[in-house]
Structure formats: structure tokens, C-alpha cells
């Protein structure tokens, strides 16, 4: 019986499920440094956009902007254990997402200048209140952390716990500049296994540049009301990875207003348009293939038309089989898996950095 108890205890510790005891102390995460935000959100610090201020955006868009995708809490502590308690709205977990990516947490630690994953906050099935031990038995000394928040749920409350005799303090953001990325579910993070694997987050850790995630699952459709919100973001550059969601007709109707509105209010900021890869299902489904090709044709036409009209500092990144040609880069025929995201980063990041460097953004 004693051996069974020891084995059970070992399994709980290994899984990060050891009950959090009274020797831990907790601080509100809002007292630490929140990175990945582009504007103030008085209603809830973990929202991405002030949806009360921009009330005329479509209802699904406003709902998605309450999700904490791309946000991370930055802090430092000398605690050997890091724990969390958090509450989410309880959005239903989508069938193509892991619960950890959907409404869990993802902890990274700075190790000799590199960010390494050290633990995840696994949400409790069917519940909105969660607690988890993310890291244990850390080496003595001070460590810096990035705690990525859920991709597809709204954070209601969040506390970070450390050992009672340890300190925990806000750490300055490790990222510089602000590159606003607006787009679809792919940008949003579907279907990464963890929040830190969404491609804007990966590029931020790789480069030290702040790539802000304004991905909107299924709703990155370039509406005028969204363009009117984006123009208010104080960004050094804008990346438009929004080709997957609008129809070819909507691309033709909306791209010029989106680009021209950003350009009018940010006359010197580069605007980068990204052509989406062919969906994996498009290799077998001819209807999907035709639709994707028509989207790409319309997107490129609009880019060329804007250039002809004299819009400067506008760039287009063409697709070059961004998730690979071996048909292993997608989780569901549409969205990248972790392998697909890795390939996207390797293709997009050098091209984006080359453009940004022309404007002293490096």
C-alpha cells in the first residue's frame, strides 16, 4: 500500500498536479508586466482591444478580442516552484485544439539568453477555475519567466504563486518595438499545441521584437470598423495575414480601405501583406483548391492595385509552401500543427525582418 501511495505521489508531481499548499504565496498577475498588448483595455486588462470603445465592430470580432491570445506575463523570482491559479470564461474547447492551448497556460524561462519551455497549466475539464504547479525544483537563484495566456478563452482572474520565503517582481518586457499582426485563426494560434507556439509568439522570442497577435479565428475579414480600430494602434509596422477569412469578393471590396486607412494614420510605417498557403485539404478537394486560388488572386491584385495607386512602403510576402510539401504540416487540413508553424516561422521571419530592417526596426 505504501508503494502505491508513493507511485501516485510521483505521478502527481510529474504531471504538475501536486496540490498547492499553504506555503505558497500568490500575487495578482496584473501587478506584474503584461506583454503583447497594443492598447489599454480598462474593462479587463487581459483583453486585447477595448471593445466598449470600439463598440461598432461585429459582435463575433468583439468577443474574440476578449481572448488573451498573444499576451504574456513577465516576472522574475528566486522561487524553486512556480504555481498559478486562474479563472476563464469557460469557452467550449474546439475539437481541433488542445485544452492547454485553448484555455491553459504556457510557462517559459530565460536560460542563458534563450527562452525555454518549463511547464504548462493544464485546465480542469468542465471547470472555469483552475490551479496548477508549472515548475518545480528549479536551480537556486533568480530566474526570469514569460507566462503565456490562453489562446481561445477569456481570462477572468490570474494569480502567480511562489514559495512563501521567495520574492516575485515585475520584470521589464524583453521585447522592443510594436509590430501589429492582424489576421485569421492561423495567426490567432490554431492549431498550436501550446500558446507559446503561436507563430507571433515564436517570432518574438526568436528576435526580441514585439509581434502583437490580433488574430481573429474565422473573423479576420477586414471590415471597415476593424480598420478604424487598427488605425489607432501605435505600431511601428503592420502585418496583414488576413487572406484566409474573407471571400475573394470581400478581399476586393475591403483591402483598399484597410490599407489606406492604416497608411493615412501611419504614413511612415511599413505594411506587409502575407499570401496564405494552399490549405492541405486543397490538394484533394478541388472546390477548396479553387477557392484558395481565387482568394490569392484577389489578394495579389489588390496589392498591385494599391502600389499602382501610389501607396508606398507596402510589401507582399508570397507563399512558398509555407507549411511544407510533404503534407505533414497541418492538423486538420486547414490549420498548421506545431511542425507547420515551425516551417512558417522559418519562411516568414527572415522576410519580415529584412523589411523591418529598412526602417531601423531591429
Grid coordinates standing for 181?
499582426
Give the C-alpha separation, 146 to 284, whole Å: 40
pLDDT higher than 70, residue 223: yes
pLDDT at 344: 98
In percent, the amount of the chain with pLDDT more than 90 equals 91
Query: What confidence tier does 3 reach under pLDDT thresholds 50, 70, 90?
Result: very low
CA distance between the termini of the chain: 60
Q: What is the mean pLDDT of residues 226-243?
A: 98
pLDDT at 15: 45
Alpha-carbon distance values, 72 to 87, 178, 243 (Å)? 16, 15, 26
Grid coordinates standing for 276?
496564405
pLDDT at 125: 87
Please state the CATH superfamily assignment of the domain spanning residues 21-36+71-170 in this structure.
Galactose-binding domain-like (2.60.120.260)
Give the C-alpha separation, 122 to 291, whole Å: 37
What does DSSP assign to residue 195?
G
Q: Where in the chain is the domain with CATH 3.40.50.1110?
A: 176-357
Coil, strand or helix: which one is 196? Answer: helix
Q: What is the mean pLDDT of residues 326-347?
A: 97
pTM to 2 decimals? Answer: 0.92
Alpha-carbon distance values, 151 to 32, 105, 119, 187, 246 (Å)? 20, 9, 16, 11, 22
pLDDT at 126: 86
DSSP of 118-165: EEEEPPPTT-SEEEEEEE-SPPSS-EEEEEEPPSSS-EEEEEEEEETT
15-56 pLDDT tens trace: 444 444 448 999 999 999 999 999 999 999 999 999 999 999
pLDDT higher than 60, residue 193: yes
Residues shown for the chain: 362
Q: What is the mean pLDDT of residues 252-257?
A: 98
Grid coordinates standing for 63?
468577443
Q: Where in the chain is the domain with CATH 2.60.120.260?
A: 21-36+71-170
pLDDT higher than 70, residue 333: yes
pLDDT at 330: 96
Alpha-carbon distance values, 329 to 125, 129, 321, 343 (Å)? 28, 33, 10, 8
50-89 pLDDT tens trace: 999 999 999 999 999 999 999 999 999 999 999 999 999 9
Please state the CATH superfamily assignment of the domain spanning residues 176-357 in this structure.
SGNH hydrolase (3.40.50.1110)
- Per the CB < 8 A criterion, the answer to whether 191 and 332 are in contact is yes
Give the C-alpha separation, 230 to 283, whole Å: 34
- 19 burial class (0-12, 13-18, 19+ CB within 10 angstroms)? exposed
Residue 186 C-alpha from the chain's centroid: 10
Query: What confidence tier does 4 reach under pLDDT thresholds 50, 70, 90?
Result: very low
pLDDT at 17: 46
pLDDT higher than 50, residue 279: yes
300-326 pLDDT tens trace: 999 999 999 999 999 999 999 999 999
pLDDT at 277: 95
111-152 pLDDT tens trace: 999 999 999 999 998 899 999 999 999 999 999 999 999 999
pLDDT at 11: 43
In a 13 Å sphere around the CA of 310, the CA atoms on its Cβ side amount to 2
Amino acid at each position: 500500500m505504501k508503494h502505491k501511495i508513493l507511485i501516485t505521489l510521483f505521478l502527481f508531481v510529474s504531471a504538475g498536479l501536486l496540490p498547492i499548499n499553504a506555503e505558497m504565496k500568490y500575487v495578482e498577475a496584473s501587478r506584474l508586466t503584461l506583454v503583447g498588448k497594443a492598447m489599454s483595455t480598462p474593462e479587463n486588462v487581459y483583453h486585447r482591444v477595448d471593445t466598449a470603445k470600439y463598440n461598432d465592430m461585429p459582435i463575433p470580432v468583439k468577443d474574440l478580442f476578449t481572448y488573451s491570445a498573444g499576451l504574456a506575463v513577465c516576472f522574475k523570482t528566486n522561487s524553486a516552484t512556480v504555481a498559478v491559479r486562474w479563472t476563464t470564461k469557460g469557452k467550449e474547447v474546439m475539437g481541433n485544439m488542445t485544452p492547454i492551448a485553448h484555455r491553459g497556460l504556457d510557462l517559459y524561462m530565460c536560460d542563458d539568453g534563450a527562452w525555454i519551455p518549463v511547464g504548462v497549466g493544464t485546465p480542469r475539464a468542465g471547470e472555469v477555475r483552475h490551479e496548477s504547479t508549472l515548475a518545480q525544483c528549479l536551480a537556486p537563484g533568480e530566474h526570469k519567466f514569460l507566462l503565456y495566456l490562453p489562446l481561445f478563452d477569456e481570462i477572468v482572474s490570474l494569480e502567480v504563486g511562489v514559495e512563501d520565503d521567495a520574492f516575485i517582481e515585475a520584470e521589464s518586457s524583453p521585447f522592443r518595438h510594436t509590430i501589429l499582426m492582424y489576421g485569421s485563426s492561423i495567426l490567432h494560434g490554431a492549431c498550436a499545441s501550446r500558446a507559446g507556439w503561436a507563430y507571433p509568439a515564436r517570432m518574438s522570442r526568436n528576435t526580441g521584437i514585439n509581434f502583437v497577435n490580433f488574430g481573429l479565428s474565422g473573423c479576420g475579414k477586414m471590415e471597415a470598423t476593424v480598420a478604424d480600430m487598427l488605425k489607432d494602434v501605435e505600431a511601428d509596422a503592420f502585418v496583414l495575414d488576413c487572406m484566409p477569412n474573407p471571400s475573394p469578393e470581400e478581399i476586393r471590396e475591403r483591402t483598399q480601405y484597410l490599407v489606406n486607412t492604416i497608411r493615412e494614420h501611419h504614413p511612415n510605417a511599413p505594411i506587409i501583406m502575407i499570401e496564405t498557403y494552399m490549405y492541405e485539404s486543397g490538394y484533394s478537394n478541388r472546390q477548396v483548391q479553387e477557392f484558395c486560388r481565387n482568394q490569392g488572386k484577389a489578394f495579389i491584385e489588390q496589392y498591385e492595385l494599391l502600389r499602382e495607386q501610389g501607396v508606398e512602403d507596402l510589401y507582399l510576402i508570397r507563399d512558398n509552401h509555407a507549411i511544407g510539401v510533404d503534407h505533414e504540416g497541418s492538423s486538420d487540413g486547414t490549420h498548421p500543427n506545431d511542425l507547420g508553424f515551425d516551417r512558417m516561422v522559418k519562411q516568414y521571419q527572415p522576410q519580415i525582418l529584412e523589411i523591418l530592417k529598412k526602417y531601423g526596426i531591429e
